[in-house]
């Protein structure tokens, strides 16, 4: 068996908003967990509240990390967070750096999401439209909970307003004041590679005509959604994956911020239907190899 991705510490994958481990037979990290395990990695896909604040999700993640450390005998874990999972992972690392060897942000809104700002402005939580949107999201979370077959823990709380606030530019700015580890000093720059013994990395994608709208994405409904969501972006118009801006995603060492991948492609969702020439699974495998070479 190959040991190419056999990192020193287990890999823990943290999903974003409305995330899951497995819906019936369909995994959130489609093809990624199996590829990492084939290379010798010890991998845990975890579940936290699908809709809640990054802090609440972070506390749930800390409890899961503690259980993993106890189960494996490892001293630390490597965290991979997709979307809001990045903020969740950052919280856990800031609170318990002794438990975390690295944090890798995958399309994480580390400076907020312009889509969340648009929804806050046009669908405020105390308006009729906002209440309808909240009801829809709660219903989706309930259905996903019924279909979830990878999680068998206690029922996880849902708070739509707290989740939304956690993703706005304003909400993330407050989060960043409390937990600045790994953030760049300048917009569009790179952050420190290591803080308090924790290594920080990030990568993200952008919508690119001729690439992200070709190939298997021609049959991918989530790609169409990302293209619609991208219209809400102003500051990073033309430089986003549909939900997170290119520069907003930066954290620690930036491995890349213009991969031809939308917000869902980057974790190989929609049964691996991705744009022309894209290979999101390879990014995870190569990063595991990078972490192994770094001794974590």
Asked about 220 being catalytic, the answer comes back as no
| Euclidean distance between CA atoms 162 and 71, whole angstroms | 32
Cβ burial 124-148 (10 Å sphere, 16+ → b, else e): ebeeeebeebbeebeeebeeebeeb
**Surface-to-core class of residue 201, CB atoms within 10 Å of its CB (0-12 exposed, 13-18 middle, 19+ buried):** buried
**Inter-axis angle of helices 169-178 and 114-122, to 10 degrees?**
130
Instruction: Name the token pair of 44.
Output: 């845990």
Instruction: Name the token pair of 230.
Output: 């991208």
Task: State the distance between the two ends of the chain, measured CA to CA, in whole angstroms.
Answer: 20
Asked about 164 being catalytic, the answer comes back as no
Of 220, 263, 265, 287, which is the active-site residue?
Answer: 263
Of 54, 83, 86, 163, which is the active-site residue?
Answer: 83
Of 220, 241, 257, 265, which is the active-site residue?
Answer: 241
Asked about 287 being catalytic, the answer comes back as no
Residues 43 and 37: beta-carbon distance below 8 Å: yes
Query: What are the residues whose beta carbons fall under 8 Å from the beta carbon of 35, sequence distance 6 or more?
Result: 5, 281, 284, 285
Q: Which residues are catalytic?
A: 83, 241, 263
């Amino acid at each position: 068996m190959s040991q190419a991705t056999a990192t020193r510490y287990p890999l823990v994958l943290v999903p974003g908003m409305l995330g899951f481990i497995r819906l019936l037979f369909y995994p959130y990290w489609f093809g990624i967990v199996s590829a990492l395990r084939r290379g010798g990695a010890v991998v845990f896909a975890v579940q936290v509240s699908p809709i809640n604040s990054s802090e609440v999700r972070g506390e749930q993640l800390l409890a899961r990390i503690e259980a993993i450390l106890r189960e494996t005998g490892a001293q630390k874990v490597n965290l991979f967070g997709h979307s809001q999972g990045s903020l969740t992972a950052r919280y856990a690392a800031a609170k318990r750096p002794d438990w975390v060897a690295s944090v890798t942000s995958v399309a994480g809104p580390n400076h907020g999401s312009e889509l969340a700002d648009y929804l806050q402005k046009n669908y405020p939580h105390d308006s009729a439209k906002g209440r309808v949107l909240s009801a829809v999201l709660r219903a989706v979370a309930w259905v996903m909970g019924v279909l979830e077959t990878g999680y068998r823990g206690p029922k996880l709380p849902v708070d739509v307003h707290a989740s939304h606030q956690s993703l706005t530019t304003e909400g993330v700015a407050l989060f960043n004041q409390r937990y600045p580890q790994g953030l760049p000093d300048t917009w569009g720059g790179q952050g420190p590679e290591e803080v308090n013994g924790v290594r920080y990395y990030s990568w993200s994608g952008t919508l690119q005509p001729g690439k992200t709208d070709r190939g298997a994405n021609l049959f991918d409904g989530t790609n169409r959604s990302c293209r619609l969501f991208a219209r809400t972006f102003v500051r990073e118009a033309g430089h986003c994956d549909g939900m997170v801006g290119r520069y907003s995603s930066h954290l620690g060492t930036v491995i890349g911020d213009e991969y031809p991948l939308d917000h869902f492609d980057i974790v190989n969702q929609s049964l691996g239907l991705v744009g022309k020439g894209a290979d999101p699974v390879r990014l995870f495998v190569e990063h595991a190899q990078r972490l192994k070479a770094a001794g974590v």
